[in-house]
Structure 1
Amino acid sequence: MIYNVIDLFAGAGGLSLGFKQTGQVKIIAAAENNLNARKTYKRNFKLARLYSDVRTIDYAELQDTVGPVDIVIGGPPCQGFSNANRQHTTVISMNNRLVKEYVRAICELNPKAFVMENVAMLRSQVHRFFLEEQDLDNERIMGLPLSEDKIEILPECVNFENSIAFLESAREEMGYAWAESFYKIINILYRYRINQAKFDASLEKYQKKLIAQLSEILKITAEADELNILKENDSKMAKAILQYIEQKDNFDDTVLAISNSIMMQRAIMKIKELTDNNIHIFEYKEEKGSLVAVVKSYPVLDYIRVILENEPYNYTLSENTLNAIHYGAPQRRERFIIVGLKKEMDAKYTAPEIKFTEGNYRTVHDAIADIQDITSVTEVTGDYIELEAHPNATGLEKELRGRALYNHITTATRETAMARFKALKAGENFHDLDPELKTTYSNADRTQNTIYMRLKYNEPSGTVVNVRKSMWIHPELDRAISIREAARLQTFPDSFIFEGTKDSQYQQVGNAVPPYLAKAIADSVISILNNVAE
């Protein structure tokens, strides 16, 4: 039996490929926002319906055209937040809202089964939704354990009398807000408030544009009959920066003036963000001298459960953390999987049986040793390298090796990087370098253990991320791991070709679900559907 599948948040297509490899699915549609990942997906799956924005998909029209969807798969991005007096400019991770788009797809498509893939930490309380205005009328959501969160709007250092009333009116009048381009320049200056040399360099870079914009602020405030505190702060900032440009003798005063203005702008931006996203604000209040907005939130996982487990959708949910190493991938990579099955099928989901255990795990050598002697390139081209047949190949080499090698691309190695490469033995990383080879990092002690890591041939790798940013090193050669080698570690066959810029290709590989893990999940879901259909 062939099942119709739609892949949401498809990335380059690792999850789709695993399902396709079962031979029992037809992928009828997919959605991916990233342009380069979409190019990769289109090249490898040749779909007619490849959406760029899940928020605009008309699922009724989709089913009218291509028929019912049996299985929905996908990994909506989800980023957590820490809820106590956060200093970030933005309040809401838009990625968290994409989980709700995935849930909308399930509700409207009503598939027999769905697979939602994400990082294992989705189970943590860090991943939360803020309570929205429309949630107030939803008994199920209001019945969830809600926690009170306080979002700092104005820190104590710039809070002022009657700030609550002023900012509530500012929410209605967004003419108070700076243009985005102006905010970015002022924010750069503020970032270098403790480094005068970098402050001066940035000021010189943007000086011409700044003088014009600051002069306009002074003109507007001079013509005003009365200045509110925000315009007053902007006027003081404009005067201070212009004086500093002329005289360079009032650095501390300039930083203070910038601080007062930019904190007010951030307050307005936060309030606008909360309002634009319909977040219900229970109250504004002062706490320890700061102005905070009181909101409430609930765990993302609780939301998924309460919506999908109950009427009218009625799914039985199963949650499992799976490691790709157990299913033939030569890397340790945990993913959190939620599988939903229609309750009417009266079927219990069982996680895929572990195939590889300690002692017979596949290794980096199994994945990439056969292409060690093939010279990599450093520029993206459409060219490929012809590979000779290896009739005696076994294991991963036999499974992944093709007749054409695409994407065997690495970073061009500079002098400093090469010195580090030469100094590191297999299994060592940045922390094993001599101090003189660490000088380009501002805080070498805080560098992650995965940076400048030389892989070991006789072991699986760690979790493959963007290996270009991490500067993973080949086990035996003094060069970075190539895009194709990273793809092999992820269990993409050589026939799967990545598109886009070099950076993007590395990122696509790092973000992907290993196809071998995806196939194990697909087999476990499809076997249940087959049993029900018999």
Structure 2
Amino acid sequence: MKYTVIDLFAGAGGLSLGFKQTNRINIVAAAENNPNARKTYKRNFKEVERLYSDVRTIDYAELKDSVGKVDIVIGGPPCQGFSNANRQHSTIISMNNRLVKEYVRAICELQPKAFVMENVAMLRSQVHRFLIEENDLQDERILKLTLKEDAIELLQKQSCDISLEDLIKLAAADSQYKWAESFYKTINLLYRYRINQPKFNSSLEKHSAKLAFQLKEILGFSEESELTNVLQQYDINMANQLLHYMDCKQDFSETIISIEKAISIQRALMKMDELRDNNIHIFEYRENDEHITAIVKSYAVLDYIKGILEHEPYNYKLSENTLNAINYGAPQRRERFILVGLKDNLNAEYKIPTPQYTEGNYRTVYDAISDIQEITPFTELTADYIELPPHPDATGLEKELRGKLLYNHIATATRETAMARFKALKAGENFHDLDPSLKTTYSNAARTQNTIYMRLKYKEPSGTVVNVRKSMWIHPELDRAISIREAARLQTFPDTFIFEGTKDSQYQQVGNAVPPFLARAIANSIISILDKC
């Protein structure tokens, strides 16, 4: 017997491939918004006739009428959630929040026998939350959840002293006082280099012509207006200060202060717009000597999923697990949160797949990519492939992944600065092990992650594969970047799986994917339960 499956948020198809490798399922539909990932999915899953670009528009009643009962729903909806703990983000709310709710909608409308929701392990924490929206106030299921009060900081008084009353008036004035997006991006870029004057000067020089015109426009508007509000006053001061600095490169600290005051108000207005545009219910605003905040309430993403799906009329028995791909044959340490739901009437308990590999016999980077070390990768995007000679002595992981043709063996061309870093780093070392003279291109080298410029070790599993182009992962023995195909092998994609799209997109698709070997283990554990019911 084969089970019907739909894959929501399919990406390149890591989950789908793992389920397909069981030979026990038919994928009847999938959804993926990214055009390049969708091309990859279409190429590798030609049997899937329905490939949606937007989960929000799927008519599940029509889908059931067309393909029949759906047995299993799988997918990894992205979820940044709301986190007041992370102030590095320029936005408060990720639109990905709604995608988790779209996944829940699919379960509610299709009511499959089982579902698998995959996401990062942190989803279990209370950090990932949804903000109460206006329509949530009418939903008793949500109001019964544990709600937490959160204060969203709109503005720090030390950056810019403006009253709450004035800020609300400015926000109500629609776009009258808000900067154009392109102007904001330029000023924000300059402000990023507030502790790096050479970088500031370089960026200022690059944008000087257009920026000077925009700053003079601000001053022109002020001359036409008889009265100016506090925002305009800060804008005028910034314009004068920046034009003065552009002219004589003096008073850098005063220039930064003027930018900080003006951009702080703009950021506050942007946050207020974002809350309004997303229908977030603001319970109140608060003001003290330190900051102005918007008071909202939130509930944990996982609480929401449980609150909807564990009860009538859906009645799913949920099982939360964090699985590591390394235990299921992947040569990398990659933890993923797996939420499995089984219909209550199945009278079954979910048990995680038994680990096949443990400390001492983990597969390694060597197992995954050593057989193609001597094959020079392309540096430009190409549809060409490389014929691989037969390798009859191949065993283990190499035997499982090696194909006859090598597609996507493409790596980033190595420039002079990167090559100097490559040559300086030994296996297991990263950017922080470099001499300071090789770190000068980074505005704040101390904050660089340990995964940047990481040279892999052949005799160990890799760390979590992300976009290894952006991270500049280095081959264990060669002074070059890891290729797309090598990253795909670390993820356990076989050579027969071909990635489409731009070079950047292919690297990203690989990094975003669920390792197919992990997906296959999960699939087998679900199938074994359904076979008994």
TM-score class, shorter? over 0.9
- The residue aligned with 2:268 is 267
Taking the aligned partners of 2:411 and 2:500, their CA distance within structure 1 comes to 15
Determine if the alignment matches structure 1 residue 212 to structure 2 residue 237.
Answer: no
Distance 1:264 1:443, change over 3 A: closer
Distance 1:291 1:522, change over 3 A: same
> Matched residue of 1:235: which SS?
helix
Distance 1:349 1:51, change over 3 A: same
Question: Is contact 2:160-2:264 (8 Å) kept?
Answer: no
Taking the aligned partners of 1:429 and 1:160, their CA distance within structure 2 comes to 43
Taking the aligned partners of 2:403 and 2:86, their CA distance within structure 1 comes to 53
What do residues 329-350 of structure 1 show as CA deviations (whole Å, max 9, x unaligned)?
A: 1222111100011112222111
Q: Which letter does structure 2 place at the counterpart of 1:127?
A: H
Question: Is contact 1:171-1:271 (8 Å) kept?
Answer: no
Distance 1:55 1:437, change over 3 A: same
Worse-superposed segment, 40-49 or 340-349 = 40-49
What do residues 395-426 of structure 1 show as CA deviations (whole Å, max 9, x unaligned)?
A: 22221111111111122223343344344443
What do residues 350-398 of structure 1 show as CA deviations (whole Å, max 9, x unaligned)?
A: 1111122223222222222222222222112111111122233222222
Question: Is contact 1:84-1:149 (8 Å) kept?
Answer: no
What do residues 443-502 of structure 1 show as CA deviations (whole Å, max 9, x unaligned)?
A: 555544333333333332222222223332323333222211111111111100011222
Counterparts of residues 117-196 of structure 1 (less than 5 Å): 117-157=118-158, 160=161, 162-164=163-165, 166-167=167-168, 170-171=171-172, 173-196=174-197
- The residue aligned with 2:54 is 53
Q: Which letter does structure 2 place at the counterpart of 1:37?
A: A
Determine if the alignment matches structure 1 residue 3 to structure 2 residue 40.
Answer: no
- By how many angstroms is 1:327 displaced? 1.2
Question: Is contact 1:407-1:484 (8 Å) kept?
Answer: yes
Determine if the alignment matches structure 1 residue 526 to structure 2 residue 527.
Answer: yes
Taking the aligned partners of 2:126 and 2:354, their CA distance within structure 1 comes to 29
Question: Is contact 2:331-2:363 (8 Å) kept?
Answer: yes
Question: Is contact 1:164-1:284 (8 Å) kept?
Answer: no
What do residues 35-58 of structure 1 show as CA deviations (whole Å, max 9, x unaligned)?
A: 221221111112332222222222
- The residue aligned with 1:363 is 364
Distance 1:362 1:252, change over 3 A: closer
Worse-superposed segment, 435-444 or 132-141 = 435-444
Distance 1:433 1:259, change over 3 A: closer
Aligned residues: 532
Taking the aligned partners of 1:35 and 1:499, their CA distance within structure 2 comes to 10
Cα-Cα RMSD:
2.4
Worse-superposed segment, 79-88 or 151-160 = 79-88
- By how many angstroms is 1:87 displaced? 6.4
Taking the aligned partners of 2:165 and 2:159, their CA distance within structure 1 comes to 13
- The residue aligned with 2:12 is 12
- The residue aligned with 2:110 is 109
Question: Is contact 2:5-2:70 (8 Å) kept?
Answer: yes
- By how many angstroms is 1:289 displaced? 2.9
> Matched residue of 2:320: which SS?
strand
> Matched residue of 1:455: which SS?
coil
Taking the aligned partners of 1:287 and 1:76, their CA distance within structure 2 comes to 39
Distance 1:524 1:171, change over 3 A: farther
> Matched residue of 2:267: which SS?
helix
- The residue aligned with 2:482 is 481
Question: Is contact 1:150-1:294 (8 Å) kept?
Answer: yes
Taking the aligned partners of 2:251 and 2:514, their CA distance within structure 1 comes to 54
- The residue aligned with 1:235 is 236
> Matched residue of 1:481: which SS?
coil
Taking the aligned partners of 2:104 and 2:343, their CA distance within structure 1 comes to 14
Q: Which letter does structure 2 place at the counterpart of 1:19?
A: F
Question: Is contact 1:171-1:272 (8 Å) kept?
Answer: no
Counterparts of residues 28-67 of structure 1 (less than 5 Å): 28-46=28-46, 47-67=48-68
Taking the aligned partners of 1:125 and 1:171, their CA distance within structure 2 comes to 33
Distance 1:191 1:333, change over 3 A: closer
Distance 1:428 1:235, change over 3 A: closer
Taking the aligned partners of 1:246 and 1:101, their CA distance within structure 2 comes to 53
Question: Is contact 2:164-2:287 (8 Å) kept?
Answer: no
Distance 1:109 1:265, change over 3 A: same
Question: Is contact 2:401-2:489 (8 Å) kept?
Answer: yes
- The residue aligned with 2:320 is 319
Question: Is contact 2:81-2:96 (8 Å) kept?
Answer: no
Taking the aligned partners of 2:159 and 2:468, their CA distance within structure 1 comes to 42
- By how many angstroms is 1:233 displaced? 3.0
Taking the aligned partners of 2:423 and 2:88, their CA distance within structure 1 comes to 41
What do residues 246-281 of structure 1 show as CA deviations (whole Å, max 9, x unaligned)?
A: 555554544333322221111111111001111111
Taking the aligned partners of 1:510 and 1:85, their CA distance within structure 2 comes to 23
Counterparts of residues 71-470 of structure 1 (less than 5 Å): 71-79=72-80, 81-83=82-84, 86=87, 88-157=89-158, 160=161, 162-164=163-165, 166-167=167-168, 170-171=171-172, 173-246=174-247, 248-249=249-250, 251-434=252-435, 436-441=437-442, 444-470=445-471
Taking the aligned partners of 1:421 and 1:436, their CA distance within structure 2 comes to 14
Q: Which letter does structure 2 place at the counterpart of 1:237?
A: M
Q: Which letter does structure 1 place at the counterpart of 2:24?
A: Q
- The residue aligned with 2:508 is 507
Question: Is contact 1:130-1:279 (8 Å) kept?
Answer: yes
- By how many angstroms is 1:211 displaced? 3.5
Taking the aligned partners of 1:389 and 1:231, their CA distance within structure 2 comes to 71
Worse-superposed segment, 229-238 or 363-372 = 229-238
Worse-superposed segment, 15-24 or 93-102 = 93-102
Q: TM-score, normalised by structure 1?
A: 0.92
Taking the aligned partners of 2:464 and 2:319, their CA distance within structure 1 comes to 24
Taking the aligned partners of 1:237 and 1:419, their CA distance within structure 2 comes to 40
Q: Which letter does structure 1 place at the counterpart of 2:115?
A: F
- By how many angstroms is 1:17 displaced? 0.3
- By how many angstroms is 1:517 displaced? 0.4
Distance 1:487 1:284, change over 3 A: same
Distance 1:481 1:274, change over 3 A: same
Structure 2 residue runs without a partner (length 5+): none
> Matched residue of 1:174: which SS?
coil
Taking the aligned partners of 2:375 and 2:195, their CA distance within structure 1 comes to 49
Q: Which letter does structure 1 place at the counterpart of 2:332?
A: Q
> Matched residue of 2:10: which SS?
coil
Q: Which letter does structure 2 place at the counterpart of 1:40?
A: T
Worse-superposed segment, 295-304 or 197-206 = 197-206
